[in-house]
Structure 1
Amino acid sequence: MREIISKEPWWAMPPQPGQDESELEWGWLVHYSEGEPRFEFVRERPTDSEIRNRKSCRITPSAE
């Protein structure tokens, strides 16, 4: 049986240097448990609040 293990806001493509989060295409990275665990990107935009409060997929400042 296919069950969702986790679902997190995630970008479709990693940002370019200096690109703002608001310019990115967002969706959900869904982790399923069915046989071998697998991930699927669902192109359904999370709310701005869900994007701001996400735990993963962070843009880290570059060391300059």
Structure 2
Amino acid sequence: MRQILSKEPWWAAPPQPGQDEFELEWGWLVHYSEGEPRFEFIRERPTDDEIRGRKSCRITPAPE
């Protein structure tokens, strides 16, 4: 039986230098348990609060 192990806000493509994270195309990275673990990107935008509160897929500031 297919079960969701995790579901996190994730960008479709990494940001360009200086690009605001809210200009990105966002969706959900879903990790399923199906025999071998499997990932799927769902193109359904999370809320701004869900994007801000994400644990992974962080934008690291450029060195000055």
TM-score, scaled relative to structure 1: 0.96
Deviating beyond 6 angstroms after TM superposition, the runs of 4 or more aligned structure 1 residues are none
Give the Cα separation in 2 of the matches to 1:58 and 1:29. Answer: 14
Aligned residues: 64
Give percent identity, aligned residues only: 86
CA displacement 1:2-53 (0-9 Å, x = unmatched): 0000000000000001100111000000000001101000000000100000
Corresponding letter in the other structure for 1:6? S
Give the Cα separation in 2 of the matches to 1:44 and 1:18. Answer: 24
Root-mean-square deviation (CA), in Å?
Answer: 0.6
Gaps of 5+ in 1: none
**Cα shift at 1:63:** 1.6
- Partner of residue 61, structure 1: 61
- Partner of residue 12, structure 2: 12
**Cα shift at 1:60:** 0.2
- Partner of residue 27, structure 1: 27
Gaps of 5+ in 2: none
TM-score, scaled relative to structure 2: 0.96
